[in-house]
Amino acid sequence: MEKLVERFLNYVKIDTESDPNSDTCPSTKKQFNLAKVLVDELTEMGLKDVSLDDNGYIMAVLPSNIEKKAPVIGFIAHMDTSPDTTGKNVNPQIVKNYDGGDIVLNKNKNIVLSPKDFPELEIYEGEDIITTDGTTLLGADDKAGVAEIMTAMEYLTSNPDIKHGTIKVGFTPDEEIGRGADEFDVEKFDADFAYTIDGGQVGEIEYENFNAALAKVTINGRNVHPGTAKNKMVNSITIAMQLNSMLPKNEVPEYTEGYEGFFHLNKIKGNVNQTNLEYIIRDHDKDKFEDKKKTMERIAKFINDSIEGCIIELDIKDQYYNMTEKIEPVMHIVETAQKAIKEIGIEPITMPIRGGTDGARLSYMGLPCPNIFAGGHNFHGRYEYVPIGSMKKAVETILKIIELYAQ
């Protein structure tokens, strides 16, 4: 436990924020700073074939110590943190024996983590919790997963009497900007299946995720001096407002849950001449996903046809698909994870991901890869936290899965 926490606190202090505006891989060179630390640690532990390629992908092997044939299992986590909130100068705090009340993250700025806003905090009364200092994200997404995999591997190498098949370890860059699997060499990794350790609350296991697309909208208007603008000006800003108002009002993240999909406007920038909008489109159901994309196309066409002088350019690109199609033929990997979670004394929470992971992409690349909890909450922001007990249970889950497949 002590080494797990020490490892995690060390990792989160290394800035690995990814950059969606970069066209390199990894998107930021600073991700190599953590990668090199991990390579050194994996080598010290005695794992074999430890490699770090030019794109920032780490792979390593823990060879089997049993004679009988067992499946080759992979465990994968990502090293980067979200660009939504800074990951620079992370100053984690440990709240000992949480009393169930408000946690003051930053007294000077009056930033408080409260169960009134985040009621799931109450689950962890009496536990030790790692939080931010209120000025950055924490980076439990997914450095908790990285630390948990590393700790599990160290446990196995330190206890060679524990029987296990061949284990593959993979750490990826740029997951937070949707490119974590872009250069992942599935053939080199050579596992029968894998698990991403990248989920939230203790006990979670997910093998269903959103189908996802990114929609970029460019609205070209026509600027004329407002004093003489009648019947001449085409204001791209107001057209952007019209376009957004024509989308289904309740199909947005703040009004949806479970399997319900949404349109999410997450960027807007513009002036009279030109306005740019960026939407993410999400739905678990493939047909509804396709309908959402067609809805955006119909709205863009309607406005183009009805407003003279307006040109809307719409670029929609699929990002990833629901992994369930690739997991269901090998459901034993989910059932074994559920059994492992039960055997360490937790009730598994099987639920759809309202997002995506490297595992979704990897599943379509030939590596079935459901997702297991890493223990964190409130990812991507200053209210992010992770209970230490949840991290320990994630390590135990990894070890139990390995044990079950070796039996």
Beta carbons within 8 Å of 251's beta carbon, 6+ residues apart: 260, 261, 262, 263, 292
Complete DSSP assignment for 187-244: HHH--SEEEEEEE-STTEEE--B-EEEEEEEEEE-B---GGG-TTT-B-HHHHHHHHH
* Residue that the structure tokens 């939080």 belong to: 131
Q: CA geometry: angle at 124 spanning 118 and 125, to 5°?
A: 105
Selecting among 175, 204, 283, 396, the annotated active-site residue is 175
Phi-psi region of 402 (alpha: psi -120 to 50; beta: other; left: phi over 0): alpha
d(CA 269, CA 60): 43
Closest CA to 207 of 215, 198, 216: 198
19 a catalytic residue: no
Paired sense of beta strands 349-350 and 211-220, if any: unpaired
Q: How far apart are the C-alpha atoms of 85 and 138, rounded to whole Å?
A: 10
Give catalytic status of residue 175 as yes or no: yes
Catalytic choice (15, 17, 80, 142): 80
Q: Is residue 188 helix, strand or coil?
A: helix
236-246 and 286-306 are packed helices; what angle lies between their axes, rounded to 10 degrees? 140
Check the CA dihedral 125-130-131-133 and report its sign: positive
Alpha helix stretches (DSSP H) within 65-219: 140-158, 186-189
Q: Position of tokens 């009621």?
A: 119
Return the C-alpha torsion angle 370, 372, 377, 380, nearest 10. -40
Name 193's bridge partners.
73
SS3 205: strand
Comparing C-alpha atoms, which of 344, 328, 325 is closest to residue 398? 344
Tokens 């920032």 sit at which residue? 56
Q: Give the residue numbers marked as catalytic.
A: 80, 175
